[in-house]
């Protein structure tokens, strides 16, 4: 089975649009998301454009603040301070990566946790770690869980989940979410010994390493659910054109696994849908 992230994300956006309508009617609140983009990185510009389009499509207010690539850290902090105070703004996202002269950790810490729809602030990661309510949870990890449940149903209890990758954005938070779902969780990474054998234990395998087609068919248990978080640009051996591939050898692994997310069209579309979910959540909790 191929898990169609595009379709699942579209369904999620329909549900969000209905809730946005209901929130407007019951409380007079229209959720609003402001995205801050520093510089002109082409990939970031594409992401920001897609975010704005989808934010408006679900009936939310979308704002975009563009700052020049040479904008100072202080100027960005001043902008965030204004957004933190602005009661008409429910979600604030600073597009990453930032130019080298700006310290990302300082910027993430400067967004008020109640508006941190990326879920990167220590207050939100701490709440997720502690299993406390009110956490805004990082978007890509949320998307991974929703996609795994498409194949396995809502109860993931007792499944052995192996996460390859330990980043703050994907690996660590997705491991915590899987633990919350009562999975037995293994976090593997670049120093893990016998990675193939570790992966062979997985009922749910989450690949978030950033290495093109890294996970091979003989690493995967028959029937496993494989969630591929990777987005790698590589040259097609036949056509010579650039194409996107995941962290999993899709063709090989498809033959052994029970279900797999494609790249593109798997986890990617879920990330923005979950960003909209977090913006709605922020407006409901703190609006
Ligand atoms: N750049 C690429 N993905 C993301 C994301 O999920 N959040 C932010 N803030 N920047 C990104």
> For residue 188, what pLDDT is reported?
98
> For residue 111, what pLDDT is reported?
98
Q: What is the mean pLDDT of residues 272-286?
A: 97
Q: Is 118 a catalytic residue?
A: yes
| 118 CB near ligand 1 (under 6 Å) | yes
State pLDDT tens for residues 78-106.
Answer: 999 999 999 999 999 999 999 999 999 99
Identify the CA nearest to 61 among candidates 50, 48, 52, 49.
52
Q: What is the mean pLDDT of residues 158-185?
A: 98
Phi, psi of 24 (to 5 degrees): -60, -45
36, 96, 116, 170: residue to mutate for ligand 1 pocket, most atoms within 8 A of CB:
96
> For residue 163, what pLDDT is reported?
99
Q: How far is the CA of 221 from the centre of ligand 1 (A)?
A: 31
Written as one string, the DSSP assignment of 2-66 is B--HHHHHHHHHHHHHHHHHHHHHHH----EEEEEEES--HHHHHHHHHHHHHHHHTT-EEEEEE
Please give the distance of CA 190 from its chain centroid, rounded to a whole number. 21
3-state secondary structure of 147: helix
> For residue 140, what pLDDT is reported?
98
Q: How much is the pTM?
A: 0.97
Q: What is the mean pLDDT of residues 174-198?
A: 98
State pLDDT tens for residues 124-154.
Answer: 999 999 999 899 999 999 999 999 999 999 9
State pLDDT tens for residues 218-277.
Answer: 999 999 999 999 999 999 999 999 999 999 999 999 999 999 999 999 999 999 999 999
Domain architecture of the chain: domains with CATH: 27-112 (3.40.50.10860), 139-267 (3.40.50.720)
| 95 CB near ligand 1 (under 6 Å) | yes
| 248 CB near ligand 1 (under 6 Å) | no
Sheet containing 204-207: which strands, arranged edge to edge? 184-188, 160-164, 204-207, 225-228, 259-260
Q: Which of 116, 118, 203, 228 is catalytic?
A: 118
33, 102, 118: residue to mutate for ligand 1 pocket, most atoms within 8 A of CB:
118
Q: Outline where the chain has alpha helix (H).
A: 5-27, 42-57, 73-85, 104-110, 122-130, 139-152, 171-180, 195-200, 250-254, 267-286
Q: Is 155 a catalytic residue?
A: no
Q: Which residues, listed in sequence order, are joined to residue 225 by a DSSP beta bridge?
A: 204, 259
Distance CA 213, CA 222 (A): 18
């Amino acid at each position: 089975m191929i898990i169609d992230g595009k379709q699942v994300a579209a369904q999620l956006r329909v549900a969000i649009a209905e809730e946005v309508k209901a929130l407007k009617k019951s409380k007079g609140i229209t959720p609003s998301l402001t995205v801050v983009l520093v510089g002109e990185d082409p990939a970031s510009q594409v992401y920001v454009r897609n975010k704005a389009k989808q934010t408006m499509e679900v009936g939310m207010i979308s704002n975009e603040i563009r700052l020049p690539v040479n904008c100072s850290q202080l100027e960005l902090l001043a902008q965030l301070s204004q957004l933190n105070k602005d009661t008409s703004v429910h979600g604030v996202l600073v597009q990453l990566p930032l130019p080298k002269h700006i310290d990302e950790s300082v910027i993430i810490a400067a967004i008020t946790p109640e508006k941190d729809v990326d879920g990167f602030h220590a207050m939100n990661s701490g709440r997720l770690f502690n299993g406390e309510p009110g956490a805004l949870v990082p978007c890509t990890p949320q998307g991974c869980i929703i996609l795994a449940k498409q194949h396995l149903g809502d109860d993931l209890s007792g499944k052995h989940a192996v996460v390859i990758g330990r980043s703050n954005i994907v690996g660590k938070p997705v491991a915590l979410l899987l633990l919350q779902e009562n999975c037995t969780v293994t976090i593997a990474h670049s120093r893990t010994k016998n990675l193939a054998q570790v992966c062979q234990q997985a009922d749910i395998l989450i690949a978030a390493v950033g290495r093109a087609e890294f996970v091979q068919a003989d690493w995967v248990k028959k029937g496993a659910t494989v969630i591929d978080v990777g987005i790698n640009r590589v040259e097609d051996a036949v056509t010579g054109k650039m194409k996107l591939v995941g962290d999993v050898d899709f063709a090989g692994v498809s033959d052994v696994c029970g279900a797999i997310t494609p790249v593109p069209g798997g986890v990617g579309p879920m990330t923005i849908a979950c960003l909209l979910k977090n913006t709605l959540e922020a407006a409901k909790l703190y609006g």
